[in-house]
Amino acid sequence: MSKERDAAIVGIYEYPLRSVDGEVSALQIKAECAARALEDAGLTWQDVDGIYDAGDGGGMAGLNISEYLGIHPTVIDTTGVGGSSYEFHAAHARRDIAAGKTRVALLTYGSTAHSSARAIGVGGRPGGGMHPADNMDGFAGMTLISNYAMVAHRHMYQFGTTSEQLAEIPVATRLHAMRNPEAVAAMEDLEFLDIRETTISDVVNSRMIADPLHLLECCMISDGGGAVVIASPEVVRDCRKPPVWIIGTGEATQYPQIGGDITVSAGAQSAPIAFGEAGVSASEMDIAMIYDSFSITVLTLLEDLGFCAKGEGGAWVEGGRLRFDRPADGPALNTDGGGLSSNHPGMRGIFLLIEAARQLRGESCSQVTDARLAVAHGNGGMLGSRHTGGTIIMARD
């Protein structure tokens, strides 16, 4: 077991709505989530001395959120690396707490992606910009999903992975979503056509969006937000809820390289660092909170996190082993319903931490009995080209 207990998640909150109809702003969602997460921890605004922000509240990240919340933090970290930003923030918060630079770190996220009709899941091209890499491929009409679909195709080609195997992932997360009232409400508010548990056949017979990925392999596009409070061991003692210790962290980038393997993500670099630091292995995990932008994201990451060897993910996920009620078969996947069926406002990483903490507290809608260890892995950017990976290993007392 891990040696160090430097920092723990002590407060969590997930914004309950996925469609706000333009009634609230992203900044307002961030502030409300922050207040509720502090309340969950038994802390107040005055306790916060570290702010971690991915820039989702507008320009001058770190400053604008501090003023808006009315706090004067002594650590300001504005790492913005896409959907995995919150795993990076958790890693940095633990590091900063261990260094004595902050005692109570606050991570917040807010988004009105659905209301703003941003095409995250099934269309569109992510924002342009003048990075030279962007200037090389804008002409080709690569949608976000086709970027991920190219990873899936190559995975199928190299390893014989099938659509039926990939479908195991959305089937498991939908099962968990149907047990989560907020996820069910989300699917209703976002006007999902058929809100029920799904089968492999449902997934592979849903509409093809970008070969080989089908509609039910794509995340939703919601509004939403959340907050996480991370505190030092001395603060933990006075908190309301049992601590969820951060015992290992890893960070990495990945991008196209000559002769590179598109089926290997940044997680292959970040996960061994995190597990090594924690002194535990993937096979010991009760909970796997893995960024499910698309089915292939999870399959690739299960391999890169070390649950099985590269290329064996398809066979490994077969037979429903990712369900919360199959603990003997390995970790339960995305027990909140995931980005596929509960919450994906664009940068889902914070929800990975929140649901992992719920599980280790015993508060999940799809609770794994006696869950002790969890891994959260965020993937930011685009899996099939340039992206970041952040791995966080968590343990309860």
Partner 1 sequence: MNDLTRPLPQTDEYDTESFWSATTEKALRYQQCANCHTIVFYPRRHCTGCTDGDLEWRSATGRGRIYTYSIVRQSYHPFFRNQVPYVVAWIELDEGPRLISNVIGVKDPGTQVHIDQRVQLVWEEHPTVNIPLFRLADDHAQ
Q: Does 185 bind partner 1 (CB under 8 A)?
A: no
State which of residues 23, 157, 197, 319 lies at the interface with partner 1 (CB under 8 A): 157
Residue 38 is a binding residue for partner 1 (CB under 8 A): no
Q: Is 196 exposed, middle or buried (0-12, 13-18, 19+ CB in 10 A)?
A: exposed
Among the listed residues 95, 101, 154, 179, the single contact to partner 1 using CB under 8 A: 154
At 171, give phi and psi (nearest 5°).
-65, -45
Minimal distance, residue 339 CB to partner 1, in Å? 18
Rounded CA separation 271/38 (Å): 29
Closer to partner 1 at the Cβ: 16 or 138? 138
Nearer to partner 1, 130 or 328 (CB): 130
Q: How many CB atoms lie within 10 A of CB 325?
A: 12
Give the nearest distance from C-beta 310 to partner 1 in angstroms: 16
Q: Does 123 bind partner 1 (CB under 8 A)?
A: yes
C-beta closer to partner 1: residue 258 or 328: 258
A 10 A CB-CB count for 39 gives: 14
CA distance 300 to 303: 5
Q: Which of 258, 328, 369, 370 binds partner 1 (CB under 8 A)?
A: 258
Question: By CB under 8 A, is residue 116 in contact with partner 1?
Answer: no
Question: Within 263-322, which residues bind partner 1 (CB under 8 A)?
Answer: none
* Residue with tokens 């015992």, as numbered in its chain: 247
> Do the Cβ atoms of 210 and 145 come closer than 8 Å?
yes
Minimum CB separation of residue 140 from partner 1 in Å reads 5
Residues 6+ apart with CB under 8 A from 179: 365, 366
Report the Cα–Cα distance between both ends of the chain, in Å, rounded.
11
Q: Which is nearer to partner 1, 263 or 341 (CB)?
A: 263
Smallest distance, partner 1 to C-beta of residue 217, A: 12
SS3 of residue 97 by DSSP: helix
Task: Tell whether residue 191 is a contact of partner 1 (CB under 8 A).
Answer: no
Q: Does 133 bind partner 1 (CB under 8 A)?
A: yes
CA distances (Å), origin 85, targets 136, 316, 338: 25, 28, 17
Nearer to partner 1, 190 or 208 (CB): 208
Question: Residues with Cβ < 8 Å from 191, sequence gap 6 or more?
Answer: none
Binding mask 208-237 for partner 1 (x = CB under 8 A): xxxxxx------------------------
Cβ 143 to partner 1 shortest distance, Å? 6
- Judge whether 29 and 36 are in contact, CB under 8 Å: no
In contact, 321 and 330? CB cutoff 8 Å? yes
Minimum CB separation from partner 1 for residue 203, in Å?
Answer: 16
> Near partner 1 by CB under 8 A, which window of 9-17, 20-28, 121-129, 225-233?
121-129
Among 8, 33, 151, 274, binds partner 1 (CB under 8 A): 151
Give the torsion through C-alpha atoms of 98, 99, 101, 104, to 10 deg: 0
Q: Which is nearer to partner 1, 121 or 248 (CB)?
A: 121
Q: Which two tokens stand for residue 275?
A: 């597990």
Q: Quick check: 120 binds partner 1 (CB under 8 A)?
A: no
Beta carbon nearer to partner 1, 195 or 209: 209
Tokens of 95: 């590091």
Binding to partner 1 in span 331-390, by CB under 8 A = 384-385
**Which listed residue (103, 153, 377, 396) binds partner 1 by CB under 8 A?**
153
Angle CA(140)–CA(142)–CA(144) in degrees, nearest 5? 165
Identified binder of partner 1 from the candidate list 122, 252, 376, 395, rule CB under 8 A? 122
Rule CB under 8 A: say whether 33 interacts with partner 1.
no
Exposed / middle / buried, residue 292 (Cβ in 10 Å: 0-12, 13-18, 19+): buried
Residue 138 found at the interface with partner 1 (CB under 8 A): yes
Task: Find the shortest distance in angstroms from Cβ 289 to partner 1.
Answer: 27
Query: Quick one: DSSP state of residue 48?
Result: -
Cα distance between residue 119 and residue 127, in whole Å: 10
Q: Which residues bind partner 1 (CB under 8 A)?
A: 119, 122-125, 130, 132-133, 135-143, 145-147, 149-151, 153-154, 157, 207-213, 256, 258-260, 262, 384-385
